[in-house]
Amino acid sequence: MHTKWNIALCLLFLAILGLGLPTPALAHGARIQYTVNVAIELVATYDNGDPMAGAQYVIYAPDDPSTPWLAGECDDEGRFSFTPDSSRPGTWVVQVRQAGHGDIVHIPVGQDTTVAGSTGGYTTLQIVLMAACVVWGSVGTALYFSPRRRG
Amino acid sequence: MHIPDGILPIPITAGGYAATAAATWYSVRKIEQQENPRRHVPKASLLTAAFFVVSWIHIPVPPTSVHLVLNGLLGALLGYFAFPAILIGLFFQAVMFQHGGLTTLGINAVIMGLPAIVAHYVFRMRRLGNHDSRTRTAVFGFFSGAVALGISVAMFVAILLGNLPADFDPAIERAAVYTLAVAHVPLIAIEGVITALLTTFLRRVQPELLDDV
């Protein structure tokens, strides 16, 4: 009789163990990890506003400014984008070139990351004012050196 | 046509500055040898302003666009004054319009300034045989404007193709340079016509402006 109860208890224990086995033990703490991979979008245009369609670009990482990190071609609207390696903070250099024309932009990535930036950067009004100053300087020079008529 | 900073290797830009220094020195020397050099300063000054401003005028030539240069016009009307005039114009264009760059100022002055001196000699050929007619002024005016820009385009192409960067695909860059060069062909004709029109106009209204050139 005693032995019969022992066998029954053993079977019950095994059954409970068997039911519980497929489910792993759950801990009560949780952890979330995240990594920000910011994609940088660039638009290359000529100064008259035309896109640099099909222009080539080369990107240099901050720790190796002589070896291209990535190279490619702009789309028809002069756009391209890249996601810098977040483990290499610093100033990324992007050069765009087409038929001997082009520009270089320095993009800080890391703590100094800026939301937007550009090269060049005079407004049309500023350019017109500066051009007017130069033209006036030339006209003034012409007037100064022009032969004076004695009346 | 203006090569910006960061496109050419340092030896080429340094060589450009050396050539520009030599050409400026020679031009100033030739100017000093003239009877009354101050007399041409007003004309040179106004044409410097014109050269400075016209690079802002874009002419669409699909698939790209080109801008006026007028170095042949300056050469025809100014003679040796053209080189310093173009150098000053290029400096202001680089600083204010970002057309070209300060490191490439020398090489850009070579590309646009030396053909202007060639244009000066082409325009002077109208007087060969002491027969200076209106037609000859127009014909040689056209050729001085066209030849100067043609030489500039050829120099621009040669310098770029001789210094293709290692990090870019040379075949794509070469094709883009050829496309831009072909786009300048209509501009060569346009600048020839502009130079012909202006020289014949000046010959009619103020012929003394063409006396010494």
Taking CB atoms and an 8 Å limit, are A97 and B173 in contact across chains?
yes
Q: Are B167 and A68 in contact (CB under 8 A)?
A: yes
Q: State what percent of residues in chain A have pLDDT above 90.
A: 37
Residues of A in contact with B111 (CB under 8 A): none
Average pLDDT, chain B: 92
Domain assignment present for A120? yes
Q: In chain B, what residues touch A134 (CB-CB under 8 Å)? A: 49, 52, 92, 96
Q: List pLDDT tens digits, range B146-173.
A: 999 999 999 999 999 999 988 899 999 9
pLDDT in tens, A11-62: 777 666 665 555 556 667 888 988 777 789 999 998 888 899 999 999 999 9
DSSP bridge pairs for A68: A60
Cβ–Cβ < 8 Å for B59, B190:
yes
Domain limits, chain B? 10-210
CA gap B86, B30 in Å, rounded: 16
Residue of A nearest to B156 (CA): A100
What's the pLDDT tens digit per position in B14-50? 999 999 999 999 999 999 998 888 888 999 999 999 9
Q: Which two tokens stand for residue A98?
A: 């087409």
Q: Is the pLDDT of residue B137 over 60?
A: yes
Smallest Cα distance from B66 to chain A, Å: 10
Among chain A residues, CA nearest to B89 = A134
Question: Does residue B98 surpass a pLDDT of 50?
Answer: yes
- b/e B167-177 (16+ beta carbons within 10 angstroms → b): ebeeebbeebb
Which residue of A53, A97, A130 is in closest CB contact with B7? Answer: A97
What's the pLDDT score for residue B31? 94
Would you state the structure tokens that stand for residue A74, as one six-digit string?
Answer: 């702009």
The more confidently predicted of residues B88 and B60 is B88
Whether B114 and B147 have beta carbons less than 8 Å apart is answered as: no
Percent above pLDDT 90 for chain B? 76
Could you tell me the pTM of the whole model?
0.84
Q: In this predicted model, what pLDDT tens digit does every residue of A84-117 receive, in sequence order? A: 988 888 899 999 999 989 999 999 887 777 777 7
Looking at per-residue confidence, does B148 or B99 come out higher?
B148
Question: Cβ of B169 and A56 within 8 Å?
Answer: yes
Residue A93's SS3 state is strand
Strand partners, A96: A57, A103
Give the closest residue to B208 by CA, choosing from B2, B36, B6: B36
> Could you tell me if B101 and A102 are in contact, meaning their C-beta atoms sit under 8 angstroms apart?
no
* Three-state secondary-structure class, residue A58: strand
Q: A142–B46: do the CB atoms touch at under 8 Å?
A: yes
Mutate to test the interface with B, among A45, A97, A129 (most CBs of B within 10 A): A97
pLDDT at A151: 46
pLDDT of residue A15: 67
Question: Mean pLDDT, to the nearest integer, of B121-130?
Answer: 88
- Mutation for B interface: A126, A134, A149, most B CBs within 10 A: A134
- What pLDDT sits at residue A17? 61
Q: Do A131 and B52 touch (CB under 8 A)?
A: yes
Which are the contacts of A59, defined by CB distance < 8 A and separation ≥ 6? A68, A69, A70, A71, A82, A92, A93, A94
Check if A65 contacts B (Cβ < 8 Å): no
Biggest CA–CA distance in chain B, Å, is: 56
Higher pLDDT, B198 or A85: B198
The yes-or-no verdict on residue B129 having pLDDT over 80 is: no
In a domain, A20, yes or no: no
Number of structural domains found in chain A: 1
- Tell the residue number behind the tokens 């040898």, with chain if given: B33
| Residues 6 or more apart whose Cβ sits within 8 Å of residue A65 | A93
Is the predicted pLDDT of residue B90 greater than 90, yes or no? yes
Task: Tell me the CATH number at A50.
Answer: 2.60.40.10
The phi and psi torsions of A108 (rounded to 5 degrees) equal: -75, 130
Which H or E run includes A106?
Answer: strand A101-109
Question: And the tokens for A97?
Answer: 């070139």
Dihedral (Cα; B199, B201, B205, B210), 10-degree rounding: 0
Does residue A148 surpass a pLDDT of 80? Answer: no
Contact across the interface for A97 and B168, Cβ inside 8 Å: yes
Residue A64 phi, psi (nearest 5): -145, 75
CATH architecture assignment, domain B10-210: Orthogonal Bundle (1.10)
Share of chain B above pLDDT 70, in %: 100
Whether A44 maps to a domain, the answer reads yes
Model pLDDT, residue A13 = 72
Task: Give the residue among A147, A148, A135, A145 at the shortest CA–CA distance from B81.
Answer: A145
User: Considering the domain boundaries, does residue A24 fall inside one?
Assistant: no
Domain that holds residue A123: 2-7+34-145
Q: Which residues pair with A82 in a beta bridge?
A: A40
Answer yes or no: is the ipTM higher than 0.95. no
Q: Specify if A21 maps to a domain.
A: no
Verify cis geometry, omega within 30 degrees of 0, for the bond prior to A62.
Answer: no
Chain A residues whose beta carbon lies within 8 Å of the beta carbon of residue B165? 97
**B127: DSSP letter:** G
